[in-house]
Amino acid sequence: MHVLSRDEARQRSHAIDLSTMKVNLDVRGGDSQDNTEFVVTSTFTLTSHADSTFVDIAGQVTRLSVNGEAREITQNDECLALSGLPVDTECTVEVQARCPYSHSGEGLHRYIDPEDGRVYLYTQFEPQDAHRAWPCFDQPDLKAEWSFIVDAPEHWVVASNGAELHTEPIENGTRHVFARTRLLSSYITAVVAGDWAVIDGGTWSGGANDGQKIDVPLRLMCRSSLAQAIDSNDILSVTRAGLDFYHQHYGITYPWGKYDQIFVPEYNLGAMENPGCVTFNDSYLSRDTPTFAQRQRRANTILHEMCHMWFGDLVTPRWWDDLWLKESFAENQGALAASRATVYTGERATFAAGRKIWAYEQDLMPTTHPIIADIPDVGAAKTNFDGITYAKGASVLNQLVATVGEEAFFEATRIYFQRHAFGSTSFQDLVDCLQEATGKDLSHWVSTWLTTSGPSKLVPHFDISRIGSVTNFQITDESESDTTRPHRFDVTTWAMKRDQLQMTHRFELTMEGRSQEVDPAGLLSQPAGITDMDLLVVNDGDLTYAVTYLDDRSASNALAFISACPDLMTRCVVWGALFNGVRDCRLNPSDFALAAFRHAENEVDETLADRLLELGRITLGTYVPKEQRAAIATTVGRLALRLSREHATDRSRAWLKTLFFTYPMTDDPAISQTVESYANTLTSEIVWTARTVIAASGSIGRDRIEAWLATSPTGEAKTASERAIAALPYEEEREASWSKLFVDGIANDTLSAILDGFAASSWQGSSFIDRGLGSLEYFWNTHSIALSIRYIKGLLSLPVYADSPESVEDHIDRVNRWLGEHENAAWPLRRLLIEHVDYASRAINVQRTWM
């Protein structure tokens, strides 16, 4: 397959002025599984400054014409040659093709719901998969006004970016005609079609300070079988609040007409910002009543995608080097909007104990890169949707706001949108707007924060005298980088008083060099000053991006008493610092895991409590030495057993998940019997988690799993059953599941479920890693990048044990040998393996430190 390069895109952009795109899509046969292809025709209106260029199309071209004149078809490797074009004269190019329905979540994906047989289609294109669905110039800076005509089965609902103008009956179906859009990049065009359930959300009315007032029709859509789970009141409340917030701050009225939000199955991402037709992973819906933590995560995603209507859709990165221009901003603004404009006021704080940890882990790997990355081609772009582009970028934007001030930041965004609306930009365009709004030269800030890699590492140092005074109190940057970044951040001290942590001092610091004095006034240098410092928190408020740790005294007190701190942001920052200590071999992982589980019982913020249980499970399953896990799992399992019965529904489900997690690690009969009972009696979606761990133990067989599935054959249950069957520790079942991975047309979620099952299994024989590595290049070259990424990550997701030579061989030695023997393999493929070796090596190092 052709991988579009930055140089090719730049040359084509200089050669072509694209005006309009008209797409005629015929999916009338899409409701039959026997029909594997669809017909599509794209009509381009363009002016070419050269007599030749190429169109991107992955399907088989069947007709080509220029200004109505038929042309010879020369198609090679997803490129259709256009030659003999009139130069500097507007012309019309028409391309017809037959394209396959996708099962990988890229292009035009088709899903048949096993629960009721209904069929659903949706598109997903970022960064460069629009040409899997229709012929186009598939790069972000070649924008056009798009119009869609979709022929579909008569009973189907169809949506696209523009409003539906009218429908008309045609042979074997209905034609849906949509309004022409404003200028759009190909990767955010969209069509969804099928038996969707539709909820009319009314309209949002309002506008920005640009003088416009508009009415925005709101709709929600999902599979018919999930219609009762759509939780429309909360979703629409968040949507309206987001539109209020962004119009208040961005200065440009929403330009895309309607606002549809569609929850789709077998989705590779959390969501996608197609203007007017936003798609979401339907895992954001729950057949159970969603917990507060689930609703808060969904609110963040809704507001993240809404931010893209401006950052990314209205103004688009010229090339994928500047992916951060949209993703970092949406990550940052989504959390801010949730915390300022909705009931989910803790979202900005919980970022510090959640997504930011992802940023640090990515940034500490040998594959780290600057926020402004070097992306030579689309292949590199597809693996750069990572913790640096999203979470590090968002965190660095917090530091930018702390540096220039919030009002100046929003004034810069308003200038940026007004100046570049419907265009494409590079990072310098935004920097120019920031400098104009602030009156400051930001070149040093940009060069140190955006063009360098790796995290800063801010470490406190101080002396304690015999009379308890604290002197020589400094923060030093102990990162290995030669780059010194400017930081603005707060340091706080806390004392335990009357069973509560109370803040004693807040120091607001500006750090320009490698060290910074904290307490120039000597507030802590008085006798017994240390009694004001039971807890020392660096970067309280989470204003900057830097790995921080707790000193030994603070760590000990935090593990014991952090729930007694009244400030949610402080608690989140502390938990993030404690986890940094675990990952970097400074804190005993067993102590952390037990503390995380115990504090989750009393944590008042539902989302942080949920995150603590997740961090506890990660630590117990990754960093705690294997011989210590059974005792901890028994303690935690008994706690989860009790709390899953005592807590209200929200917390109960989180504790159930933890209970099921401990099942393979403990022989405690109360835990085992309860989990086995729940596998037969729970009606919650989480029941399949219990069934999978039981299957993985070998105490049941395939027939039991199939009997469970027969009682509730939903789409989610079907996928979960594939996971449970793959987890069975029987060679025959494992081989059958392994063979499924290579069946043409395997669905993305099915592939991941099977590999997850292998990772969960108690199978004691050889793993599939050696065989998987042997087929790696074949899989990479014959499948899409999205499926290949799932394959690699799933293949290598087996538990890592430092005391097992076989585990070390699988995760380190075999992979390193493959890398040594395949030095010329595609960089995105090598990158995934290099990152896995780093992750496994870190886990092994932590385990060996505390064995």
Instruction: Give the pLDDT band of residue 459 (cuts 50, 70, 90).
Output: very high
Q: Is residue 562 part of a domain?
A: no
Task: Mark out the alpha helices in 251-354 (DSSP H runs).
Answer: 292-308, 324-341, 347-350
The rounded Cα 277 to chain-centroid distance in angstroms is 19
Structure tokens at 495: 């004392």
Enclosing domain of residue 441:
316-449
Let me know if residue 380 belongs to a domain.
yes
Which of 137, 127, 125, 124 lies closest to 95 in space, CA to CA? 137
CA–CA dist 847, 851 (Å, integer):
6
Domain membership of residue 756 (yes or no) is: no
Please indicate, yes or no, if residue 288 is contained in any of the structural domains. Answer: no
Could you report the per-residue pLDDT of 268-278, keeping only the tens digit for each? 999 999 999 99
Buried b (16+ CB within 10 A) or exposed e, 519-555: beeebbbeeebbebbbbbbbbbbbbbbbbbbbbeebb
Q: From the DSSP assignment, how many helices (H) and strands (E) are in the chain?
A: 29, 30
Q: Helix (H, G, I), strand (E, B), or coil: what is residue 448? A: helix
Note the pLDDT of residue 524.
Answer: 98
Cα(593)–Cα(658) distance, rounded to whole angstroms?
12
The band of 474, judged by pLDDT with boundaries at 50, 70 and 90, is very high
| Residue 326 domain-assigned (yes or no) | yes
**Percent of the chain clearing pLDDT 90 (strictly above):** 96
Q: How confident is the model at residue 1 (pLDDT cuts 50, 70, 90)?
A: confident
What tens digit of pLDDT does each residue of 174-223 get?
A: 999 999 999 999 999 999 999 999 999 999 999 999 999 999 999 999 99
State residue 766's pLDDT score.
85
Average pLDDT of the segment spanning 384-409: 97
Average of pLDDT values for 717-744? 97
For residue 647, is pLDDT > 80?
Answer: no
Look at residue 382 and tell me if it is in a domain: yes
**Pairwise CA distance, residues 233 & 78, whole Å:** 44
Is beta strand 456-464 parallel, antiparallel or unpaired with respect to 470-477? antiparallel
The two three-digit tokens of residue 169, written as one number = 């009956």
pLDDT above 80 for 649: no
Banded pLDDT at 237 (limits 50, 70, 90): very high
Residue 227 located in a structural domain: no
733-767 per-position pLDDT tens digit: 999 999 999 999 999 999 999 999 999 999 998 88
Q: What is the CATH number of the domain that holds 390?
A: 1.10.390.10
Query: How many other C-beta atoms can be found within 10 angstroms of the C-beta atom of residue 510?
Result: 11
Phi, psi of 241 (to 5 degrees): -65, -40
Q: Which residues share a beta bridge with 194?
A: 120, 157
Residue listed under structure tokens 């835990």: 671
The answer to whether the peptide bond before residue 127 is cis (omega within 30 degrees of 0) is: yes
What is the C-alpha separation between 675 and 657, in angstroms, rounded?
10
Rounded Cα distance, 800 and 806, in Å:
10
DSSP symbols for 728-753: S--HHHHHHHHHHTTSTT--HHHHHH
Which residues are identified as catalytic?
305
Confidence grade of residue 812 (pLDDT, cut at 50, 70, 90): very high
Domain count of the fold of the chain: 1
Residue with tokens 């570049």: 420
The residue-averaged pLDDT of 673-701 equals: 95
Find the mean pLDDT for residues 446-462: 97
Query: Helix (H, G, I), strand (E, B), or coil: what is residue 358?
Result: helix
In one-letter notation, the amino acid at residue 296 is Q
Alpha carbon distance 54, 82 (integer Å): 5
759 domain residue, yes or no:
no
Whether the model pTM is above 0.95: yes
Helix axes of 731-740 and 715-727: crossing angle, nearest 10 degrees: 130
For residue 198, CA distances in Å to 110, 201, 284, 585 come to 19, 9, 16, 51
- Residue 650: predicted pLDDT: 77
Question: How far apart (Å, rounded) are the C-alpha atoms in residues 398 and 406?
Answer: 9
What local confidence, expressed as pLDDT, does residue 169 receive? 98
* pLDDT the model gives residue 373: 92
pLDDT at 615: 99
What 3-state class would DSSP assign to 253? coil
Average pLDDT over residues 430-441: 96
